[in-house]
Chains A and B, each alone.
Chain A
């Protein structure tokens, strides 16, 4: 055969191939162009949009026509919600990818520092009353059985009390008392001696005599009534009161 025969065969073959390829279709119209992809939408919201540090907000999103949705890089469902507790103002990004493209949405959660707790105002110091100060500083002094002598500790206590009494210009009543074992009338006289002993000690420490008043209660005003030495000692006392 010659070349002409060969070209012809090739052409026919190609044609046949073509016919074969396109021959499965029976005689068709050209394929229609693909429909345009539906647009991707994405929305993201934060509720509430503003929180105090330590509080939470809920991010809510929805998308349409997206196949790949991420929220700040994390894959999420096409729509959903999530609670967040940012410590600082944060903008969240929702990325939605779909055939039609990519959409983004953002939402911001503002974080305000919690209000500085109003400091509970330090209690305005109630000025201590004279009565309270007196009771704290001019305390009962105690005596030995049947005695009106001041013990050493009582003398010290009175020396100290004298300074405050002078400074404050207080007027003081000194009340002499006895335990219940002695006789009523003699105990009144003994109580008088006990009150007077304290008065003299205060005078020696500089308190003016007219700032001091004495009275005896004998055994008539006991501080306790048990019959034991503990109670008897408590009753053998000078008690001091502030005169107004």
Chain B
């Protein structure tokens, strides 16, 4: 596809200096040279200025909703990972609310020195919030308009947030090499805050956290389907663990075949046609199975002693990575989707929780690199370029970090970490910057980012 080729060409020479720095500790210079980790983050980051949208009228709801909109928009753009946000301290004192008010020069010149500018206004009329937003190129002569959008929704904070997400995604899609923004994506995770482990969902920025499942026992390992309609997970029944499906449309679990033994860690193929999972139905030990999305036709792929956490290569669905304890401590393996061509991918330490990047080129995972009783050092998130097997360390602050999951744009990850004192969900850019805590209540784990 054209877009992909453009990406590869632009990233061919993309040795990020920050990756160079990250690598320094344990990779040779030659290895560093060979590393190509394609993170779709672009070599050139446009300088974007995003002053607050103006309040369009005196309706009492206008200002508060404008506030919600502005905070959300800024956050979405700042976290996108593809802009260099111009610091607000450099902004001119007056921001335009309409194109007629725009003085492009004062934005394009130093001190702001912006390349692009987004501006607009927010007003509430008759119970509806209306937003007008623009994106202008303020560097080039004539200051061409890149985007002009208009939104109208019910006047609630949730809708103000939604409009901001949509507008941010428009900007990101336009300026970010054509890859859609993630501002409307969702993260599913396990939370204890209702009293027992259940599956919850939240917006990608941590807003709108709500409980989905109500199994009453223990629910683990959430995986949302590619079309976002069904959530697979592993739930404890009276006598065994079973793969269960929660329908987001119906708001309840729907039927899925019951298998013998214990069934863990479901994972969807990115075309939505298959589910892989771990089951002890055959031998009493956990092995990797694949079934149709309906659960029918389950067939055994791996014959290991303690195989779990399968994940499809989302680009091709032709490979599955998973964790096996067949040689002792858990290590990562990759096989073809029919079970053949098994390769061991890690050789040391304690490696778990593989997560394949959307472009199929990078495996994120959790690793205790040097393992053993009494050995200091925690478990961190690492990124491995599959082709070269070169590895970058993403988290460094110690403690226990686990269950990385990629954003749909391949630029972000969420993971669980106990660095704040309790298990919580954290987000980070794939270059290790913009670390932010997304959950705070109860214990939260095993995040899973939606496919779109």
Contact = CB atoms under 8 A, between A and B. Distances in A.
Given A184-B220, A186-B325, A193-B286, 14 more contacts: A146-B350, A183-B353, A183-B403, A185-B220, A185-B308, A186-B330, A189-B308, A190-B325, A192-B285, A192-B286, A196-B285, A215-B241, A216-B241, A220-B218
A213 B309 CA distance: 23
B239 A189 contact: no
A185 B240 contact: no
Nearest to A194: B306
A59 interface: no
A215 B240 contact: yes
A41 interface: no
| Majority-rule SS of B interface residues | strand
Interface of A: 145-146, 148, 173, 182-186, 188-190, 192-193, 195-196, 199, 213-216, 220
Contact of A183 (B285, B286, B328, B352): B352
A90 B379 CA distance: 95
Contacts of B352: 182-183, 185-186
Nearest to A216: B262
B407 interface: no
Contacts of A193: 285-286, 305-306, 325
B239 A213 contact: yes
Interface in B286-305: 286, 305
A189 B373 contact: no
Given A145-B373, A184-B445, A185-B309, A192 B323 contact: no
A148 B240 CA distance: 20
Nearest to A220: B218
A199 B285 CA distance: 11
Q: Which 4 A-B pairs have the closest CB atoms?
A: A189-B286, A189-B306, A183-B352, A189-B308
Nearest to A229: B373
Contacts of B353: 183, 185
A213 B239 CA distance: 9
Contact of B306 (A145, A184, A190, A199): A190
Contacts of B309: 185-186
17 contacts: A182-B352, A183-B353, A183-B366, A184-B221, A185-B220, A185-B264, A185-B278, A185-B309, A186-B330, A188-B264, A188-B265, A192-B262, A192-B285, A193-B325, A196-B280, A199-B284, A216-B241
B412 interface: no
Interface centre among A188, A190, A193, A213, by most B CB within 10 Å? A188
Contacts of B350: 146, 182
Interface size class of B (residues with CB under 8 A): 35 or more
Interface centre among B221, B280, B305, by most A CB within 10 Å? B280
Interface string B248-265: 000000000000011011
Interface centre among B221, B284, B307, by most A CB within 10 Å? B284
Contacts of B307: 189
B87 interface: no
A188 B241 contact: yes
A213 B236 CA distance: 15
A51 B323 CA distance: 89
Contact of A189 (B218, B278, B403, B445): B278
A216 B262 CA distance: 7
B280 A192 contact: yes
A195 B262 CA distance: 12
A99 to B, nearest CB: 105
Nearest to B220: A184
A188 B308 contact: yes
B197 interface: yes
Interface centre among B236, B241, B445, by most A CB within 10 Å? B241
Contacts of A215: 239-241, 262
A98 B192 CA distance: 105
Contacts of B373: 145
A216 B278 CA distance: 13
Contacts of B241: 188, 215-216
Contacts of B330: 183, 186
B79 interface: no
Contacts of B236: 220
Interface string B217-253: 0101100000000000000100111000000000000
A145 B278 CA distance: 23
Interface centre among A146, A184, A186, by most B CB within 10 Å? A186
B219 to A, nearest CB: 11
A7 B336 CA distance: 182
B446 interface: yes
